[in-house]
Amino acid sequence: MAAPMEKIMSKLGWIKTVEMHTGGEPLRIIQSGYPKIDGDTILAKRRFARDNLDHLRKLVMLEPRGHYDMYGAILVSPDLPGADIGVLFTHNDGYSTMCGHGTIALGRYAIDYGHVKATEPETEVNIQCPCGLVKAFVQVTGGRTGQTRFHSVPAFAFATDLDVDVVGHGKVTVDIGYGGAFYAFVSAERFGLDVRKSRTRDIVDAATAVSNAVKEQVKLRHPDDDDLAFLYGTIITDGNDEWSDEPTANICVFGLAQVDRSPTGSGVTARIALQYHKKLITLNQKRTFESGACGSRFTGSPVRDTTCGEFSAVVVEVCGHGHYTGEATFIAEDDDQLKNGFLVK
């Protein structure tokens, strides 16, 4: 006799996932059950998912199956030569163009689930993200995958020492950097906060106010595609940007005031690009970045000069470790009034 859940699943569709986290930030990887995502390019696929399948993003990201700060990855067919897998990144408010913690986790996943053959001591996994091709390098020891480092797309300083008028705070000076996504950066000290000790709610409020101001007052642009030219979030830092062998901490607030538990891989990329632009760090100089939310750490370093259109840019290496937390199967019963998900703000 079939179990009750098997009977239900035989009548309804389902979505199967693999659950991971990197530095405390979750990654829900869609294994099966998603419809085909059309598009000749990965950015076209991102638009298609946003315009036609957003109810499914809400179903797996939001409550009651997810939560306010859930993060996800949808595997898609890559269109770039040499890419092993393609991916769309999802969160509480839509679709990102890059995710560092997700890339670190997907490096392990791609090997463990047969997308890439393992070679020791390190296996290269080429991941096409919406921002471009990101190369991940996964440690493999005795057949077990482990720590992962990735090389970013060209990262650059978009603007430095830029004044914006922030509601409730007056004129605030920010830097804007690109690391696969655009972020505004500002020191917690400007708001009388401490990224390691202050209430997360207070940091979220300050970061959200900055994001709103930048979105209203600054026109972003990216040389490759207009779909990349939007502010993803604001990163509040401890202000320690000059290189040191001591960790520097930050908290990223993105999407709909979503808090990254990890040090934020694409944020570390953008922050290093800004530091490199300001000559605060040199090529191959490694820095440790700490999450103000939970204390987890990534390392990062600028590894190669490059360009991105008219911008002087740098390829950044970021290193961390993704971990598995389980697998799941999700369904939506027709008579469930909350089947499409909801957020409690």
Active site residues: 99
Q: Where are the beta strands (DSSP E) in 240-292?
A: 248-254, 258-259, 287-291
- Give the integer Cα–Cα distance in Å for 28 and 31: 9
Helix (H, G, I), strand (E, B) or coil at 194: coil
Give 172: exposed, middle or buried? Use CB within 10 Å, 0-12, 13-18, 19+. buried
The residues near 156 (Cβ < 8 Å, ≥ 6 apart) are 177, 178, 273, 277, 308, 311, 312, 313, 314
Q: 151, 183, 163, 165: which is closest to 274 by C-alpha?
A: 183
CA-based end-to-end distance of the chain:
43
Is residue 131 within 8 Å of 181, Cβ to Cβ? yes
Is residue 74 within 8 Å of 53, Cβ to Cβ? no
- Give the integer Cα–Cα distance in Å for 235 and 233: 7
Q: 185, 183, 60: which is closest to 131 by C-alpha?
A: 183
Is residue 297 within 8 Å of 24, Cβ to Cβ? no
